[in-house]
Structure 1
Amino acid sequence: MDFANHSCRSGEDLQAYQHRVYAVVYSVILAPGLLGNVLAIWVFRIYIRETKKAVVFMMNLAVADLLQVLSLPLRIYYYLNNTWPFGHPLCMICFYLKYVNMYASIYFMVCVSVRRCELIMRPLRYNSSKRKGDMFICVLGWLLVCLGCLPFPLLRNPSSSLNPDSRDRLSSEAGAPLSGPDSVCFSELPMRTVSIPAAWALLIIAELVGFIIPLILVLACSCLTAGSLREGRGGAIPDRGEKRRALRMVLSCAAVFLVCFAPYHVTMPLDFLAKANALNSCALRDLILRCHPFTLCLASLNCSLDPLMYYFTTDEFWRRLSKPEIPEMTSMTFSRRLSCITAGEEVDDEPL
């Protein structure tokens, strides 16, 4: 996929620099992402049949985040040891899960924003049939995301081994020898030969369907929800507290969206041009290759930010963690039984 005849020689520390960035950031994300999303799934499992406030979408969002978190230990091992001893199929699965998580998160954030906005604007239209429709939307979303992300692993060529010059360069940059074609993984895997029009078509579809349209929907929901809060009490939902909670949720989705996913989708086409040697400036190419790992790490940061969003914007989540209802109900039942027993004893002690 070379666009130009010239090529830039990467700095000797570029590969080592990228590995350090990935290893540090993924190590930081691992623990809070794992604990936060397991806790979120546990809480949402309790409330999924008791409330209509987009809990089913948030539960699927937590599942998507958890899938990526579970692949982080293998990524950390690779970036610390500069080799992949686990075989090519597992490499492709981890590589694939990265993009499935990112675009599934984008999809379900849009669903959460649209549902909360709809419940504020038109609450009476939500009924049991729509609750079943939400499950269908989730299944359809997973199917579309899994199919849409297939080009990412399919564009990698497992049968193509690195030539000696490339292998020596990667070995020197990583600081460790590469023992065979299966020792590299993720973005360092060789690409299949793709025509220029096909490559640009894939990029445009990914940017348009995976980022621009969802961003417009999330921002539109934020504006509509904020507008409903400024309306008088004659709106669909007179409870301003409920409107504020909905607005916090939608604004949080927009903030996570902009912080985590916007930088990556800005640098993704630039990274493609840099790796295709389509840039005349070698300094610009080196800058893009150094910035892109940070944006890719930001795209993974949502695994830790989403549980915080649940806690601070979802009253069910906060109530479940701060005031567990099961112990309260048990204590209330025990108190009632004790009062009944006490009352019965007092009746027995009264003279006839």
Structure 2
Amino acid sequence: MTNSSLTNCDITSDFRHTLYAVTYTVIFIPGLLANSVALWLLRSFINKKSKAIIFMINLALADLLHVLSLPLRIYYYINHTWPFRNFICLLCFYLKFLNMYASIVFLTLISVQRYVFTTNPFKAKGWKRRYDVAISICVWIVVGAACLPFPIYRSSGLNITSTSCFADLGTKKMNTMTVIIMLVGAELSGFLIPLIIITYCTLKTRAELKRDSLRCENMKEKHKALRMVVTCASVFFICFTPYHIIFFFYVMVNSNIIHSCTVQKVIMDLHPFSLCLASINCCLNPILYYFTASEFQNELAKRGSSVVRVRLMSRESVSSMR
């Protein structure tokens, strides 16, 4: 980092390159396969009345966009140099935050929709698929615009001959008030408000399930809804909560608002780990589709059995020709 306070504190983060390279290598293949298969199967439900399918498709698309940028990240952290254009560096940097906040919004929307439709079945019957499509388009526009400050904030170290990218980028100097306003806005809209909504939907769905357990009305559907909102909450807490807690202090450190060397060292050491946790959501989100949507399980089993039958038939035909 270029801040003088960090230099005076003698903070080194040499382990970051190894950590990022290993993490991104580990999640690339599972993330690519899981989200590709998810998009392949979820598109089969577009014309059906399956709940939250449109949001799931957009969630898988957001994950796939980030996963496709991982090979360039892996190359950089292994070779310690960036031979590509600066625009590509900033684009990959942008896709990381686009994936994070698009995932947060779509996880929140899935939780809200499952909770509302479970507690108010009549709203589910009158809800049109085109509403989900319109909401998804608005999400991409708003989140896409809101994430633009991230690459802009980290683009100060780039020039025509620059060979640095990602974690090694510098930060633009801004006055303290501007930093605080941007930070509070990002934390509120991108973390605290979704956190409150997802927690509320999870607790209320669980309470609804307990309340109706004696009457045994639509219990199977309500159990599915509870599994879905709990899975959304789990992914959110595991992947995004540590990052946003550390990110708040990380920006404060980089802006010379926090001067304690001990605090700076702890924050700068924890930030890479929280960023890696945030990237793991690309592998965890497909669990949401499989374990919470029985239609997804059935379709996966059907497609799998079809592939097996085709292979068996091809083997039999080859054997008969012999």
Normalization by structure 1: what TM-score?
0.81
Structure 2, unmatched stretches of 5+, are 310-322
The correspondence for 2:196, drawn from 207, 210, 216, is 216
Please report how far the alpha carbon of residue 157 of structure 1 lies from its aligned counterpart in structure 2 after TM superposition.
3.5
Structure 1, unmatched stretches of 5+, are 162-179, 331-352
**After superposition, where does 1:161-200 map in structure 2 within 5 Å?**
181-200=161-180
Contact 1:83–1:183 under 8 Å retained in 2: yes
Instruction: Tell me the distance in 1 between the aligned counterparts of 2:148 and 2:78.
Output: 27
**After superposition, where does 1:229-244 map in structure 2 within 5 Å?**
229-232=209-212, 238-244=217-223
Quote the residue 1:8 is aligned against: 8
The correspondence for 2:280, drawn from 295, 298, 301, is 301
Q: Partner amino acid for 2:115?
A: C
The correspondence for 1:228, drawn from 205, 208, 211, is 208
CA 1:206–1:217 in structure 2 vs 1: closer, same or farther (change >3 Å)?
same
- After superposition, the C-alpha distances for 1:132-168 in whole angstroms (9 at most, x for unaligned) are 111100000000100000101122345766xxxxxxx
Aligned-pair RMSD on alpha carbons?
2.5
Q: Secondary structure at the match of 1:52?
A: coil
Quote the residue 1:281 is aligned against: 260
Contact 1:52–1:131 under 8 Å retained in 2: no
Contact 2:98–2:144 under 8 Å retained in 1: yes
Identity score, percent: 42
Contact 1:4–1:278 under 8 Å retained in 2: no
CA 1:104–1:160 in structure 2 vs 1: closer, same or farther (change >3 Å)?
closer
**More moved, 92-101 vs 273-282:** 273-282
**After superposition, where does 1:9-24 map in structure 2 within 5 Å?**
9-11=9-11, 14-24=12-22
Please report how far the alpha carbon of residue 118 of structure 1 lies from its aligned counterpart in structure 2 after TM superposition.
1.4
Instruction: Tell me the distance in 1 between the aligned counterparts of 2:54 and 2:209.
Output: 25
Instruction: Tell me the distance in 1 between the aligned counterparts of 2:9 and 2:80.
Output: 20
Q: Partner amino acid for 2:202?
A: S
Please report how far the alpha carbon of residue 275 of structure 1 lies from its aligned counterpart in structure 2 after TM superposition.
2.3
CA 1:111–1:280 in structure 2 vs 1: closer, same or farther (change >3 Å)?
same
Q: Secondary structure at the match of 1:126?
A: helix
Normalization by structure 2: what TM-score?
0.89
CA 1:41–1:5 in structure 2 vs 1: closer, same or farther (change >3 Å)?
closer
Q: Partner amino acid for 1:142?
A: W
Q: Secondary structure at the match of 1:323?
A: helix
Contact 2:63–2:103 under 8 Å retained in 1: yes
Contact 2:86–2:158 under 8 Å retained in 1: no
Instruction: Tell me the distance in 2 between the aligned counterparts of 1:27 and 1:159.
Output: 26
Please report how far the alpha carbon of residue 231 of structure 1 lies from its aligned counterpart in structure 2 after TM superposition.
1.9
The correspondence for 1:46, drawn from 20, 44, 52, is 44
**After superposition, where does 1:7-156 map in structure 2 within 5 Å?**
7-11=7-11, 14-127=12-125, 130-156=128-154
Q: Partner amino acid for 1:8?
A: N
Q: Secondary structure at the match of 2:249?
A: helix
Quote the residue 2:317 is aligned against: none
Please report how far the alpha carbon of residue 220 of structure 1 lies from its aligned counterpart in structure 2 after TM superposition.
0.8
Q: Secondary structure at the match of 1:231?
A: helix
Please report how far the alpha carbon of residue 269 of structure 1 lies from its aligned counterpart in structure 2 after TM superposition.
1.5
Please report how far the alpha carbon of residue 119 of structure 1 lies from its aligned counterpart in structure 2 after TM superposition.
1.5
Instruction: Tell me the distance in 2 between the aligned counterparts of 1:154 and 1:84.
Output: 18
Contact 2:39–2:61 under 8 Å retained in 1: yes
Count of residues in correspondence between the two structures: 308
Please report how far the alpha carbon of residue 30 of structure 1 lies from its aligned counterpart in structure 2 after TM superposition.
0.4
Please report how far the alpha carbon of residue 52 of structure 1 lies from its aligned counterpart in structure 2 after TM superposition.
3.2
Please report how far the alpha carbon of residue 123 of structure 1 lies from its aligned counterpart in structure 2 after TM superposition.
1.5
**After superposition, where does 1:318-337 map in structure 2 within 5 Å?**
318-324=297-303
CA 1:182–1:192 in structure 2 vs 1: closer, same or farther (change >3 Å)?
same
CA 1:6–1:247 in structure 2 vs 1: closer, same or farther (change >3 Å)?
closer
Q: Does 1:250 align with 2:248?
A: no
CA 1:238–1:203 in structure 2 vs 1: closer, same or farther (change >3 Å)?
same
Please report how far the alpha carbon of residue 205 of structure 1 lies from its aligned counterpart in structure 2 after TM superposition.
0.4
Q: Secondary structure at the match of 1:263?
A: helix
CA 1:9–1:183 in structure 2 vs 1: closer, same or farther (change >3 Å)?
farther
Instruction: Tell me the distance in 2 between the aligned counterparts of 1:188 and 1:277.
Output: 18
Q: Partner amino acid for 1:55?
A: I
